[in-house]
Amino acid sequence: MKYLAAAWAGVCLASTGMAVGETTVQGYCASFAHQYASQTAVDLVKDSIQVETEPAVLRWMSNLFQPPGSRFESGYRCRFETVSPRKEHTVSVSLYLAETRDFAEHTQWKDLQIIPIEHVVDEANGHAGYGVFKYLRPD
């Protein structure tokens, strides 16, 4: 998929077949990585952004007793590398796709949600939801 220079802000080209305001899991993680690097005054290592799907079993258990609209659709681990004058770091953050925008806004970690909540699509695995970041782990 091709993205405009502003893609890291989450706006996809209409030719991708996605609605305006939607982004992919990879694009949403890239937006986070760029904003994190900017806010922490480090450089993002080129081509270092990786996305892994988290196992569904724990999410399934947590969703079991939740009312409709209060569930997580899927989870991912976004990893990227940064470099500062002192050393390189690998940063890992969890991304969850919430069923509704209201649930995403309710469960967001305000200090960690450094980019706006957007509708995120994982076409490969058939999931979509509103992106919420949790559990930042810099190494």
Q: How many whole angstroms separate alpha carbon 56 and alpha carbon 53?
A: 9
Residues 6 or more apart whose Cβ sits within 8 Å of residue 61 = none
Q: What pLDDT tens digit does each residue of the chain (139 aa) get?
A: 222 222 333 333 333 455 656 899 999 999 999 999 999 999 999 999 999 999 887 778 878 888 888 889 999 999 999 999 888 999 999 999 999 999 999 999 999 999 999 999 999 889 999 999 999 998 7
3-state secondary structure the chain: CCCCHHHHHCCCCHHHCCCCCEEEHHHHHHHHHHHHHHHHCCEECCCCCEEEECCHHHHHHHHCCCCCCCCEEEEEEEEEEEECCCCEEEEEEEEEEECCHHHHHHHCCCCCCCCCCCEEEECCCCEEEEEEEEEEEEC
Give the burial class of 2: count Cβ atoms within 10 A of its Cβ; 0-12 exposed, 13-18 middle, 19 or more buried.
exposed
pLDDT at 60: 82
